[in-house]
Amino acid sequence: MRIIAARFNHETNTFSPVKTLLESFAPLYGEEALAFGTGSATAFGAFVDHALAQDADLITPLCATADPSGPAPRDAFEALAAPIIAAVRDGCDAILLDLHGAMVAEGIDDCEGALLARLREAAPDVPIGVALDLHGNVTERMIANCDCIAGFKTYPHIDMRATGDHVLRMMDKILSGAPKPNMAMVHAPILAQTLKMNTEVAGIMTDLIAMAREAEAQDGVEAVTVFGGFPLSDIADAGVSVVVVAQSAVMARAVAGDLAAAAWRGREGFVYHEEPLKASLARARSAAEAPGNGPVLMLDHGDNCMSGGTCDTVGVLQGALAAGMAGIVAGPICDPEVVAQMTRAGEGNAVTVELGNKVPLPGFAPTRPLALSGTVSFARPGRYVVSGPIYTGQTCDMGRAAVLEVEGATVLVTERPHEPWDLGVFACAGVDPVAARYLILKSRMYCRPVFEPLSRAVVECASAGITSSNLGLFDFQKVVRPVYPLDPEMEWAPPGK
């Protein structure tokens, strides 16, 4: 059996000024893609290991992932789609794809739908199975051009490989001669805030995931996924959707409609109400005085790397220092100029820098960098291996990194925007984040599996950044209106209800 497995991931923040280039995807082809996938804690890894276990003729034309950022150039999308399409045209028995579901390129608002349509045209009768991110903005074009879809059920995403296994179970049935299943999607007009999709706390998303698992236990239902969507991707199909794979088309539509109706009834639960930064700082100070171990984890979610943030805003750090807070560890803050300056100064030497606030944010008033004087304690390459549970074993590269010791704070500065996946972010630079009194991270969710258990409290800090949780700050042009909560008085019911 000839199986094609590929990974092609990008979550696009259409408001982000962070450029997405071909090299941003760090594409791997052929044997290098296979090596990455083997044993990987991703859906692609599940595909690769399953095919190898079957002694299949496995083709891995592409493994490419870019951190969330602005729309990709059209030619980058075409260059990365081409090897997958070429491999399919050479002939195959099955196609397994690890995609995101919210990728936008210049002139293509639905990259996944465009790729799947081309693959379906190239191989009309070959089964196509797709794993998607929980934040996918799923479209009818995606549904029409594949045979089964399953998406993550956790956020933070710790079930990427399990989702690949789910796709494989459905594909194995198809390949063994069972009738192809039916798929149905119902799109609920809700722009859900990502901070309200946390599946590790009680809330509407947790309730819907429980309903999805319950529905999957029914005879004839093979997969039920509640996609929260990615609200900062301004396309027509942005928002919440429910996708059901079932033996019966009637059952698929019924289950999708029921869950979409439940999402609509609980729509207020998808709205995140920010508190002013001053209030968050006061809560952090109170938490630091309370009994407990570890730092107060302060999440700068307005400038979140994994939602397309620049990682160079300094409002939370500046506010904390101005409030007299001390014992701070902050970072990574992306400022290549400051990294270069600190590297030239050298470890152990004094330096004065103008940190951050250098990337203009569309729609936001410009702000000045933060002047800091201190000592360089580290200036070397910032590389580490993730210990888990997300991307376990993967080597991460922050570019050159530098640590600045100032009165009240230790600040990690990097050449590249980088999500704090792991303690290794700081440990590779000689910093112990757990020893801090306050730990300021540019993250919404992905840091939590590692850092939250080590912290005495978590305080979400709103900052003026391109990943703000206040959707009212963004000029939406393409999303279909009315949509909640931008149009709070709207009414809606799923088809047939």
Q: Mean pLDDT over residues 394-413, rounded?
A: 96
Q: Would you state the structure tokens that stand for residue 398, as one six-digit string?
A: 């922050």
Task: Report residue 338 as tokens.
Answer: 């400051």
**Tens digit of pLDDT for each residue in 90-142?**
999 999 999 999 999 999 999 999 999 999 999 999 999 999 999 999 999 99
pLDDT tens digits, 14-66:
999 999 999 999 999 999 999 999 999 999 999 999 999 999 999 999 999 99
| Res 467: pLDDT | 96
What pLDDT shows up at residue 394?
86
Greatest CA span in the chain, whole angstroms? 70
Share of the chain above pLDDT 90, in %: 96
Q: Quick one: tokens of 435?
A: 């020893």
Residue 389 — very low, low, confident or very high, per pLDDT cuts 50/70/90? confident
Residue 393: band (very low, low, confident or very high) from pLDDT cuts 50, 70, 90: confident
Residue with more model confidence, 409 or 495: 409
pLDDT of 259 higher than 90 = yes
Give the chain's mean pLDDT. 96
The pLDDT score that the predictor gives to residue 41 is: 93
106-112: Cβ within 8 A, 24+ apart: 106/71, 106/72, 106/73, 106/74, 107/74, 108/74, 108/77, 109/235, 109/236, 109/237, 109/478, 110/137, 110/139, 110/141, 110/142, 110/235, 110/237, 111/10, 111/72, 111/77, 112/136, 112/139, 112/142
CB 316 within 8 A of CB 357: no
63 bridge partner residues: 7, 28
Nearest alpha-carbon partner for 180 in 120, 226, 126: 126
Instruction: Give the pLDDT mean for 468-492.
Output: 96
Confidence of residue 248 (pLDDT cuts 50, 70, 90): very high
Using CA atoms of 75, 76, 78, 82 in order, give the dihedral in degrees to the nearest 10.
140
Q: What confidence tier does 254 reach under pLDDT thresholds 50, 70, 90?
A: very high
pLDDT greater than 80 at residue 246: yes
Within a 13 Å sphere around the CA of 306, how many CA atoms are in the beta-carbon half? 21
C-alpha 445/C-alpha 198 separation (Å) is: 8
- The pLDDT assigned to 40 comes to 95
Question: What is d(CA 131, CA 163) in angstroms, rounded to the nearest whole number?
Answer: 6
State mean pLDDT over 185-212: 97
Residue 390: pLDDT band (50, 70, 90) is confident
* pLDDT band with cut points at 50, 70 and 90 for residue 496: confident
Give the pLDDT confidence score for residue 497 in this predicted structure.
67
260 CB-contact burial (10 Å; exposed 0-12 / middle 13-18 / buried 19+): buried
Q: Is the pTM of this model over 0.85?
A: yes
